[in-house]
Amino acid sequence: MEDVPRPSTVKGLQEFLRMINFYHRFISHAASLLLPLHCALQKSTPRQVLSRRAEIDNNAFTSFKAALSEATMLSHPEPEAHIFLTSDASEQAVGAVLEQYVQGVWQPLAFFSKRLRTPEKKYSTFDRELLGLYPAIRHFRFFLSANSNHKPLVGAKSKLSDPWSARQQRHLAFISEFSTDIRHVSEKSNVVADCLSRAALSNVILGIDYGAMAAEQAEDAEVKTFQTAITGLQIRPYQIHNSTLLCDISTGLPRPLVPRSFQRQVFETIHNLAHPSRKSTVKLVSQKFAWHGLKKQVSQWTQECLACQKSKIQSHVHSPVINIPVTSKRFSHLHIDLVGPLPSSEGFSHLLTIIDRTTHWPEAVPLRSTSTTDCARAFIRHWISRFGVPLDLTSDRGPQFASTLWNEIAQQPRVQLHRTTAYHPQSNGLVERFHRTLKAALKARLQGPNWADELPWFLLGLRTAPKEDLDFSDAELVYGTTLTVPGEFIDPSSKFRPVCTPNDLFYTKFKNLSPFATAHHKLPSVVP
């Protein structure tokens, strides 16, 4: 601020005044200091050079910059502190200061000042003092009492003989809404901004009755334990409201020992101001109060705060995606699911889809209903009868796969059931991806609504199509050879193909394998 140059034009001065309007409450009698600068703006165009009263303007500009650089640090309101509002009026402006009395020291809470208009400068002393008190109370109307440094104003509210003007009656009526006790203090007591009086305002209570807390301390067993046990606390008594409040002064500031019945109230009083985080709330409460298990209890209450849960964005920890290991044994791990409802075809409306995790061999069984009995019957007839009993079976949380009957069927052959998390189809991604291919192929191939007749041809095409990740078709991994598809040219003389990979060796061995004739037993059935 000390390096800010003096404005050379009216527009520059206007920008400076707009900026410092945000800092009026930090500077005592700001309106009086800025009065010469405001006068320089009268009857001036924005681009006019500030030559008139240049010396006075420069002195006012320099004085206000110095006042702003040394601005008073305001304090936060303290519980149980006496609050005073002091007003003053001069011939050019009115001002007020709001203070609190804490441990024998006056601490400023806020300043207020306002420049008088030309007609208001002609008011009598009484009217100017009344005008100084009226806007000050209006500005700090969240407090309940007011004071003035003008002694005749003290009896103005109770005096009925003088014919008050309409303006005076309006101001006095407004003041009466906040206080009926206006007191005069001698000029010697004026220590801030030439204010001649200070009168005690009503005590500000911020939700905690320390008198009741002091009475409760005498009966609380936890507080008595603090007095007798050897701890790091330094307990000292404080007199408040004719009661003795026990406080800890080990941190340099008095921290009341909170009885059990007041602990929740203390937490809500501090936390409900702005609902800070758990760590911030614990730090705030521990700085001002003390009780056994404070950090743990405040942390729990903060996490249980319903308003915080509704309003704040919680950080969600996403677990990393873990792939299901592929077993080396074929048909040991299956994925199963349902598709539908589909348009009715020959009475079928759903499909039971099954796919092997190792070979990716798919199976789609048409169903007329999705009951657990029909699903279990189709699974046994179309899969177990061909490929045997699997070791692991992964499904979603559908009612068919979560029923008691399905669990009993799985327990008999010792099948381990795995259910995916709710609303998370990615956990069963192998069969879900098969569904997309299935639906796309049926939609592309169908010429009518009879999809049940087209399903076998689709499965044949899918089983014979090479997989990019496996480099073989499902049929080759299951049967060791490709399946003949309609329209394929067959060369009977072609019996071999070059051997390159272990799968090729497996393929070649199956290719050259031919059935053997049944041999009769040549050994005697009875060994002598």
**Nearest Cα residue to 170 out of 142, 145, 134, 136:** 134
Residues 285-330 have pLDDT tens digits of 888 888 888 899 999 999 888 888 888 776 667 777 777 776 778 8
Does the structure show a pLDDT above 80 at 463? Answer: yes
Most confident of 14-18, 344-348, 475-479: 344-348
Average pLDDT score, the chain: 73
Are 294 and 271 a contacting pair, CB within 8 Å? no
Contacts of 523 (CB under 8 A, 6+ apart): none
pTM: 0.39
39: pLDDT strictly greater than 50: yes
Buried b (16+ CB within 10 A) or exposed e, 233-265: bebeeeeeeebebbbbeeeeeebbbbbeebbee
Q: How many angstroms separate the CA atoms of 31 and 67, rounded?
A: 12
The more confidently predicted of residues 68 and 344 is 344
More reliable by pLDDT, 73 or 342: 342
Output the pLDDT for position 204. Answer: 36
Contacts of 440 (CB under 8 A, 6+ apart): none
Contacts of 57 (CB under 8 A, 6+ apart): 6, 36, 37, 40, 50
Question: Using only C-alpha atoms, what is the Rg of the chain?
Answer: 45
Burial class (CB within 10 angstroms; exposed 0-12, middle 13-18, buried 19+) of 144: middle
pLDDT of residue 436: 87
pLDDT of residue 484: 76
> What was the pLDDT predicted at 466?
80
For the record, the structure tokens of 266 come out as 């203390």
CB under 8 A, 24+ apart: contacts of 432-439: 432/337, 434/353, 434/355, 434/362, 435/337, 435/339, 435/353, 437/462, 438/339, 438/351, 438/353, 438/362, 438/364, 438/462, 439/339
Are 57 and 36 contacting, i.e. CB atoms less than 8 angstroms apart? yes
What does the pLDDT read at residue 79? 65
88-92, 142-146, 326-330: lowest mean pLDDT where?
142-146
- Residue 346, pLDDT above cutoff 80: yes
Give one word for 23, left, alpha or beta, with left for phi > 0 and alpha for psi -120 to 50. alpha
Q: How confident is the model at residue 490 (pLDDT cuts 50, 70, 90)?
A: low
Residue 182's pLDDT band (cuts 50, 70, 90): low
Residue 358 has pLDDT above 70, yes or no: yes
CA 421/CA 403 separation, integer angstroms: 16
Amino acid found at 465: A
Are residues 79 and 99 in contact, defined by beta-carbon separation less than 8 angstroms?
Answer: no
Q: Specify the CATH architecture of the domain 333-474.
A: 2-Layer Sandwich (3.30)
Residue 443 has pLDDT above 70, yes or no: yes
CB under 8 Å to 499, separation ≥6 — which residues?
Answer: 505, 508
**Residue 415's pLDDT is what?**
81
**Closest by alpha carbon to 113, among 147, 90, 143, 130?**
90
Q: How far apart (Å, rounded) are the C-alpha atoms in residues 133 and 111?
A: 13
Classify domain 82-189 at the CATH topology level.
Answer: Ubiquitin-like (UB roll) (3.10.20)
The fold for domain 211-308 equals Endonuclease III; domain 1 (1.10.340)
Q: Which of 110-124, 146-160, 296-310 is predicted least confidently?
A: 146-160
* Per-residue pLDDT tens digits for 210-228: 888 888 888 888 888 877 7
Q: What is the DSSP letter of 290?
A: B
Mean pLDDT score, 3-28: 68
Burial class (CB in 10 A: 0-12, 13-18, 19+), 444: exposed
What pLDDT is stored for residue 202 in this prediction? 32
Query: Which residue did the predictor score with more confidence, 50 or 449?
Result: 449
User: If DSSP codes are grouped into helix, strand and coil, which group holds residue 344?
Assistant: coil
